[in-house]
Structure 1
C-alpha cells in the first residue's frame, strides 16, 4: 500500500482510506469491525467517519452510531495507535446534531467531547469541518451556486473564531490536526492565511467529492492543493456505486444505495449511463475491473492524499483493496482524458 503525506503534519496515510458511513444502518457493528480488521491487514492506516454518521438513511435515531462502532473496536482490540482517525463536526443546518447549530467556538468543545466519548479515545488525529457555515457548491449545488449573498467580514470573523476554538482543542490534546470538507479554493485559502497570521492550526487536508464523474477539484483547488500542501481526501470515488456498472440498464440491486436513495443524491441524470459506459468500456478494453480503474485513477492524481471508499460487504471491501496493486498505463490515462472530454460533468 502506497503511503502519502497528510499535508504538513508529518503523518503518512495509506493511499486508500476506509470509509464508515454505512456502519450502523446498512452494516452491523460486527461487520464494521471485520472491515477494520481486513483493511488494516491489507495496509490501510486511516479511517474516516463523522459525528452525523451513519447515512442511508440518516437521522436523529441513528446519529453517532458509526463513531460508537469504531469506539467499540478500539476498546476491544486495543489497537488505537495503529489507526489515523479522521472525524468531522457537522455544519449549520443539520437538525439531528445540536438542532442544526452552526460550527462555532460555542459548539466545537461539545462536538469534540461527544465524538471522543463515542469513539472511546482521548484524541482525534484529524478533526474536519464537515461543510462551511456559509454553504458550499458541493452536492450538486454547483449548478446554482451564488456567493453574492456572503458577507466577507462575517465569514472571516467566523473563521477566526473557529480557529481559536480548534487551537484550544489542540492545546488540550483532544485533536492533533485539522482539515476541511466540502470547501472552495477561496475558503481554503482564507483558512490557510488566517492560520499563518496566528489565529489557529493550519488546515492539513480537504475532503471533497472526486471521481471520474465529478472533477470539480481539477482546476483552482488542484493548484492550491499542490502549492499549499493541502492534500485531497476524496469521497465517493465510485460515484455512489455508479462507476461499478451495477446500475447500468436501470438495474437497482437489492440492498444497494440506490434501493435506499433512488436518485443517489442528485447523481442520477440522463447523461450518467453514457458517461459510465465510456469508463466501463475502457476497463473492458484493458482488462481492468471498473472498481480498480476508478480507484486507481483517483489514487494516481498528483494532489491525492487518500481515496476514501466504503463497502457494505467483505467481497466489496476486498475488491476495492485490490486497487492498491494497480498502476494505470499512459494509454489508459489518455483514454480516460478522452472520455472526460466527451462526457464532462454528467451530474
Structure 2
C-alpha cells in the first residue's frame, strides 16, 4: 500500500479518535456509569441489524435506478457500489467523494459514465428530497425544537420545504437556472463556470430521464426513504440498550434534521459537526453524561463500520492509488467538453 493512502488513512483515524475522545470527555458525567453498567449488549446487534436492513434497501434502490437506465448489476457489484460510497465520502466535505466512488465502481461494472452519473445524482437527490419532505412533520411534532417559533412561522417554513422540490422541477423546464448560474459565476474562473454548467446539465438530464419512468422512480424513492430510516434506526436501538424512556418518532425526527444538515457539511464526512449536532439535539432526551458516548456509538455503527468495509472493497478493486484514481470523474468531464467543442468546430 503506498505511503499517500496510508498517510491519509492515518490522519483520518487520528481525527476520528480525537473528535470522539473530545466529545466523550466534554460530555461525560460520573453518573453515566450507572446507565452504562446497565447497558444491554444485545441492542448492539439490534443496531447492526437495522444498519444491515438500511444498506439492503440502499442496494435495492441502486438496482431500481440502474434498471431505469437499462443497466444490470450483479449482487457483488451492488455491494461494492454501496460500500465504496462510505469510503470516499469520509474523505471529502459534504460526502461528495462518495459519488465519485460510485461512478468508479459502476464504470468498472461496464455502466457508461453518463448513465452512472445519472444514477448517482438521482440517488443523492432522492435522499435529500425525502429528508426535506419530512422536515414539516418534524417541525409540527417536536415542540422542544420549535417551541420558540410562532405557529404561523412553522407553517410558512413547512410550506416552503414542501414546495421546494416542485419549484425546482418547474425551473428545470425554463432557462432561468442557466441565467442564474451565469450571473452568479460571472466573476469566477472559466473552469469553475464550466464545471457549474456541466453539473447543472447533468442534474437536469438526470431529472428528465427519471421523469420518463414515474412508477420506477416512486419505487426507488420509497426504497431510498426506508434505507435512510433504517440506518437512522441504529440510534433508537442504542437508546433501548440504556433502558430509558424515549419517543421513537421524536428521536427519528431529530436524526432527519441532523442528517439533512450533514449533506451540506463543510467538514469531511461531517466529522465534528455530526457529533456536536447529536449532543445538542439529544441532550434533553438522554441521561446527563451519556450523550457523547451515544454520539460516538452512532457514528461508529452508521459511518465508520461501513467505511472500513468500503475501504476493503475499494482498495482491493482499484489498488492503493485509489485516491488519485478518484479524479477520473473530472477527467471524464474534460473529455466530454473537448468532444463537444470538436463537434461544434466540425
Greater fraction strand: 1
Bin the TM-score by the shorter chain. under 0.3
Structure with bigger gyration radius: 2
- The TM-score normalised by the length of structure 1 is 0.26
Greater fraction helix: 2
Q: Which has the higher contact order (CA 8 A, sep 6+)?
A: 2
- The TM-score normalised by the length of structure 2 is 0.26
